[in-house]
Structure 1
Amino acid sequence: MIPLYHDFDGEAVLVFGGGAVGSRKASRFADEARVVVVSPAFDDRLGDLAEGGAAEGDAGSVELVRAAPDPDAVRGWIDRVDPALVVAATDDAAVNAAAEAGALDAGVLVNRTDVSAADRSGGRGARSVVVPATVEDDPVRVALSTGGASPALAKALRERIEAEIDGAGAMAELSGTLRAELKDRGVAPEKRREAIRRVVRSEGVWKGLQKGDSYGRQEADSVIEEVLTR
C-alpha cells in the first residue's frame, strides 16, 4: 500500500458502528468532513462530538442515526449518504463485510476495522484504505501505519515521534518563507536548495526557533548568508 493524503473538505464519511472504534474513526474526520454514524447505540464520546459539531449536514459535523442495518440494508445507506469513505466498524463481521463490498461496488473508499492486512491472504481491495495514526505540528503531519497489524505499535511510535518533530511546524513555515524570498531575489535553484538544506539541518536554527520566530530567523539568515557568499 502507498500512503496518500486525502482532502475530505466538503465530503461525507459514513461510519457503521457507534462503539469505541467507530467513535475514534468519526473523531478523526469530524473537523473536516460531514460524518454520519449509523448504529443502534453510541459511545458517549460520539454524543459529545455530535453536540459540539456544526449544523447537521455541514462539513465538519457529526450526525448520529440510530439504526441497526442488516447486511442487506447497508448498500441503501451508502446510496443515501453518497460518502467519499465508508468505515466498517461494527462488531458484526457480516455487516462489516457488506459495508466493504457495498463501498467497493459503489466506487468509494472503505476502511474495514475488523480485518488486518495479516488476515487477508488475497490482500486488500483497490479502494480499501488504512486510517493511520498521525502526529502533527501544523503544517507538518506524520502518518504511521502498521497495515492494521499492530495498532499498539502505531500508538507507541506516535508517542516517540511526537517529541522528535517538536518545532517542525515553525521550521516548515520559516523554510517556506525563506525559499520564496530567495526565489524572488533571483538566487539560482541550486544555491536555493543548498541554502534551505543547510537551514533545516542547522541545530542553531532549531534552537533559535525554540526561543521564538525572530531568533530562528536570525540564525537562518546567518546560515543563508554563509552559503551565498561562499
Structure 2
Amino acid sequence: MNVHVERKLEFTMIPLLHDFAGATVLVFGGGPVGARKARRFDREADVIVVSPEFGDRTFGDAELVRAAPAPEAIGDWLERTEPALVVAATDDEAVNDAAADAARERGRLCNRADRSGGREPGSVVVPATVREDPVVVSIATGGTAPALSKYLRQELEETLSGAGEMARVCDTLRSELKSRDVAPTRRREIVTDVVNSPSVWTALRTGTSNTGQVIEDVLCDELPTGGERP
C-alpha cells in the first residue's frame, strides 16, 4: 500500500517566553481542555475560568465563575477582568470566535484551543513544556502532531534532569570568577568546561554534590591560590 504524505507543513510562529506574573488569564470553558489550560497558567498568573459547569476536574487555584456568557457578552468579561491572555476553550465556536475577536480588538493575546491553523495576529500557542527551573524548554508542532509533542516532552524530561542546578552553578560561578578578577575569556572557558563535564552532571543529578560544593571544587581546581592563574 502506498501512502501519500503531503508536505505542506507551515508553522511560521516564533517562540517567545512571556512573564504572566501578576497578570490575569481569562479562560472560557470548564471542560478538560479549559482545566488543563488553567493548571498550565496557575503557577504564575491569576486565572479566572468562566463556564456553566465544571464537573470534578482540577483547575488548580483558579477562580471558577459559573456562567454561560452569550457571544455578545464576552467583551464585557474582558472589560471587567482586563486579562493579558484570553483562552477560548469552549465547545461553542460562536463563543470562541467572540472571545478571539474581543481579545484582538483590545490588543490582548488569545489562545484558541479549538483551532490549530489559520491563526491571526495576536494569537498564541501554548506548547508542551518541560521545566527544570530556571531552565524551560518548549515543544510545538503547529498543531499537526500532539502525540509527537508529548513524546518529545517525555524524552526531554530525562535529558534535562539536573539542568536547573547546572544553571545555578553557572550563574554563581560566573559571579564568583568575576569578583576574583578572572579575565572574561577565561571565565567563559571555565564555565563551558563545567557545563561539558559528565562528572559534574552526574553529581548534580544524583545529589552527591550540591551547587555550593561543585563551585568550591571548581574554584579549588582552577584557582588554587584564590586568584587568576597566570
TM-score normalised per structure 2: 0.85
Q: Distance in 2 between matches of 1:93 and 1:69?
A: 13
Alignment of 1:127-166 (within 5 A): 127-166=122-161
Q: Distance in 1 between matches of 2:89 and 2:43?
A: 19
Q: Which runs of 5+ in 2 are unaligned?
A: 1-12
**Residue 83 and residue 147 in structure 1: after superposition, are their counterparts in 2 closer, same or farther (change >3 A)?**
same
The residue type paired with residue 81 of structure 1 is: T
Q: Percent identity?
A: 53
* 1:200 maps to which of 195, 204, 218: 195
Whether 1:37 aligns to 2:26 is no
Q: Distance in 2 between matches of 1:101 and 1:111?
A: 11
Partner of 1:59: none
* Alignment check: 8 A CA contact 2:173 2:215 kept: no
Compare 21-30 and 32-41 and name the one that shifted more: 32-41
Partner of 1:94: 94
Whether 1:220 aligns to 2:215 is no
Partner of 1:108: 108
**Residue 125 and residue 223 in structure 1: after superposition, are their counterparts in 2 closer, same or farther (change >3 A)?**
farther
Compare 207-216 and 131-140 and name the one that shifted more: 207-216
Q: Distance in 2 between matches of 1:207 and 1:225?
A: 23
Q: Distance in 2 between matches of 1:113 and 1:172?
A: 33
Partner of 1:56: none
* Alignment check: 8 A CA contact 1:205 1:220 kept: no
Alignment of 1:40-51 (within 5 A): 40-46=52-58, 49=60
Structure number with greater Rg is 2
Q: Distance in 2 between matches of 1:3 and 1:63?
A: 28
**Residue 107 and residue 165 in structure 1: after superposition, are their counterparts in 2 closer, same or farther (change >3 A)?**
same
Partner of 1:68: 68
* Alignment check: 8 A CA contact 1:198 1:223 kept: no
Deviation, 1:77, is: 1.0
Partner of 1:6: 18
The residue type paired with residue 128 of structure 1 is: S
The residue type paired with residue 20 of structure 2 is: F
CA RMSD after TM alignment? 1.9
* Alignment check: 8 A CA contact 1:37 1:64 kept: yes
Larger fraction in helix: 1
Number of matched pairs: 212
Q: Distance in 2 between matches of 1:21 and 1:80?
A: 23
TM-score normalised per structure 1: 0.85
**Residue deviations 1:186-210, cap 9 Å, x none?**
1111111111111101112112223
**Residue 32 and residue 12 in structure 1: after superposition, are their counterparts in 2 closer, same or farther (change >3 A)?**
same
The residue type paired with residue 45 of structure 1 is: R
Q: Distance in 2 between matches of 1:223 and 1:126?
A: 53
Q: Which runs of 5+ in 1 are unaligned?
A: 54-61
Partner of 1:184: 179
The residue type paired with residue 184 of structure 1 is: S
Q: Distance in 2 between matches of 1:225 and 1:44?
A: 58
